[in-house]
Structure 1
Amino acid sequence: MQRVLFGDNQFFGINHFSEEKARQQAIKFQDIEAILDILQSALQSGVSDFMCTTHDTVGQIAAEVRSNPEKWEGFTFHPGMPYAHKYANAVTELGYLGALKKFIPSGGMVDTLTRGARAVVAKDLESVMSMLIDAEMKMFEGLETPVIFLQNVVTDLILGLGAIDVFASFEAYIKRRYNAEAGFFTMNLPKLLEALHAAGVRKPIVCANVNKAGFRMSGGIEAYRDATNKYPARVIAMSVFASGGIPPREAIEWVVGEPYVESIVFGASSCRNIESSVALITEADRQLGRAA
């Protein structure tokens, strides 16, 4: 993974600190061209890894990248799934059959439905999981997806149910089917790392909130340090600015100083903010001897 990754929350009006800011961002990025301009700015600033949901708009981004490979050279997607709102909206708009036709991979409806039916009869969770993953990955066909993430809603549900073997199954399927690494979003890094270790998933890629304020860090800062010491992981820090609650320089200098943080993901609404964040991370890394 790259040291710095770019996220997509700002494109879809998600801000955990300010509803007004979220609304403004949602309005700004109604036009796909505005999103593509920001992604080009990120790419030109050296941030080529895009962490995203499987929102329909991301499908449009994927189509653009597929159609203009020279313009997007080096750009990679790191999709997180499932995106529950997408399915709910599709059923509302298209009905159940229409939603199936939209999401099931082309040419694979019979096979997918068969796998799904067998899964229901046999209660085969892995078959259900593979069917849903294939549907989610349809939009990224032909594109680079080196890491595929399980969204925190599902990760933490599995964690709460104690069905930790599902984590190992997810990792194995992602590697076998997509030649990619599995990643996990979570709101409870300490508990997840323990569970992944017990499931046999070694040095996992985990994306979690990591920030100086301890904002949305389940168990607190010290619990994160203890867990990563005991169960080594490749941690991607998100919400490093605590959704605007910490000044950028202060936030970056602190998170770069956390030795277990391998990568940092951030979102931005302007080219200037992208360049500023990248510069701050590079400077902080250099000061700690973590960059050439």
Structure 2
Amino acid sequence: MAETATPMNRLLFGDNQFFGVNHMSEEKARAQQIRFQHLDAIMAVLDSAYDEGVRTFMCTTHDRITDVCDRVRAEPARYEGFSFYPCMPYAHKYANAITDDGFLGAVRRFLPEEGMLDSIARGTSSLARKDIEGVTTLLIDAELKMFAGLSTPVIWLQNVVVDLLVGLGFTDALRIFADHVRTRYQAEPGFITMNLPTTLDALDRVGLDNPIVCSNINKLGFRMSGGVDAYLDALHNRRFRAVAMSVFASGAIAPREAIEWVTALPQLEAIVFGASSRANIASTVALVDEYWPTA
């Protein structure tokens, strides 16, 4: 039976700029990391995006996102209609916790409050049996703890995991992720990848029909493993819901040129973009409205 597709907003606001991620300039990345070290600076930009009509925040599960979630929960009227698209896992968080507390201690640190004893038992028995499914679902629940009570209609598996699993041939884990996200959170699973054609093949093999897949899509082929032609072939001939990131190729393509090109592609459902100022957010919104008007 086909899954009911959750409609997505056309523009999704990303969080790279808040955590010092810039693929072209280390200097700019450091400056952004300093600028956004306080919550109020992050919220000022998110408020600008919200006020410009961008109501979806596609974010990692970085520890500091917990504070953003708390702020949104505390002001439901201010953030009416606001959704999070969590991207998991945030690998550095687990690495640091394992160093401090050991593996089981790290898992317990991130456990959801609801069903804690059951989760601990599930994690312990899973480790004993080397049950990958049990450990996987436990860690998904741990990652999503911070979003309790908030709208999370799409939940993403990060490219660092997707591409590793695909490369190892352990594609059953993609199905485990998808089934748990749908069953426990009534959300749609999304998959972020740096190799769109290969990931689509893997998702086909595990029976995921019309999946939501986010990848770099830009006319320069920036960070598009396999090249532009392979991606265009997929967009024209494969069944999936495409979400484009790095559409500006980290500043190498002029905004108007980038938006005009990407919005002309078939099967595109959304664009992820990051910005640090109200002016840049408004400019992107205006360009999308111009080249990709709503029906």
TM-score, structure 1 length as denominator? 0.94
Counterparts of 1:174-189 in structure 2 under 5 Å? 174-189=181-196
**What's the offset of the Cα at 1:285?**
1.4
**What's the offset of the Cα at 1:230?**
3.4
2: distance between equivalents of 1:100 and 1:170? 17
1:6 and 2:37 equivalent? no
2:242 paired residue number: 235
Letter in 2 for 1:209: N
Question: Partner of 1:56: helix, strand, or coil?
Answer: coil
2: distance between equivalents of 1:164 and 1:47? 33
2:149 paired residue number: 142
Question: Partner of 2:57: helix, strand, or coil?
Answer: strand
**What's the offset of the Cα at 1:261?**
1.8
CA contact (8 A) 2:122 2:138 kept: yes
Letter in 1 for 2:32: Q
1:106 paired residue number: 113
* Residue deviations 1:181-230 (CA, integer Å, cap 9, x gap): 00000001000111111110011001100011100011111101222333
2:5 paired residue number: none
CA contact (8 A) 1:3 1:264 kept: yes
Change (3 A) 1:4 1:54: same
Question: Partner of 1:282: helix, strand, or coil?
Answer: helix
Question: Partner of 1:207: helix, strand, or coil?
Answer: strand
**What's the offset of the Cα at 1:166?**
1.6
Letter in 2 for 1:66: R
RMSD: 1.5
* Residue deviations 1:126-185 (CA, integer Å, cap 9, x gap): 111100000001000000000000000110111011122221221111010000000000
Letter in 2 for 1:48: R
**What's the offset of the Cα at 1:247?**
1.0
CA contact (8 A) 1:42 1:274 kept: yes
**What's the offset of the Cα at 1:117?**
2.2
Letter in 1 for 2:12: L
TM-score, structure 2 length as denominator? 0.93
1:126 and 2:133 equivalent? yes
Unaligned segments of structure 1, at least 5 residues: none
Change (3 A) 1:135 1:28: same
Question: Partner of 1:40: helix, strand, or coil?
Answer: helix
1:212 paired residue number: 219
Unaligned segments of structure 2, at least 5 residues: 1-7
Question: Partner of 2:173: helix, strand, or coil?
Answer: helix
Counterpart selection for 1:89 from 90, 96, 102: 96
**What's the offset of the Cα at 1:27?**
0.9
1: distance between equivalents of 2:187 and 2:115? 21
What percent identity do the matched residue pairs reach? 57
1:47 and 2:54 equivalent? yes
1:267 paired residue number: 274
Counterpart selection for 1:156 from 159, 163, 171: 163
CA contact (8 A) 2:211 2:240 kept: yes
2: distance between equivalents of 1:218 and 1:95? 35
Letter in 2 for 1:189: L
1: distance between equivalents of 2:55 and 2:149? 17
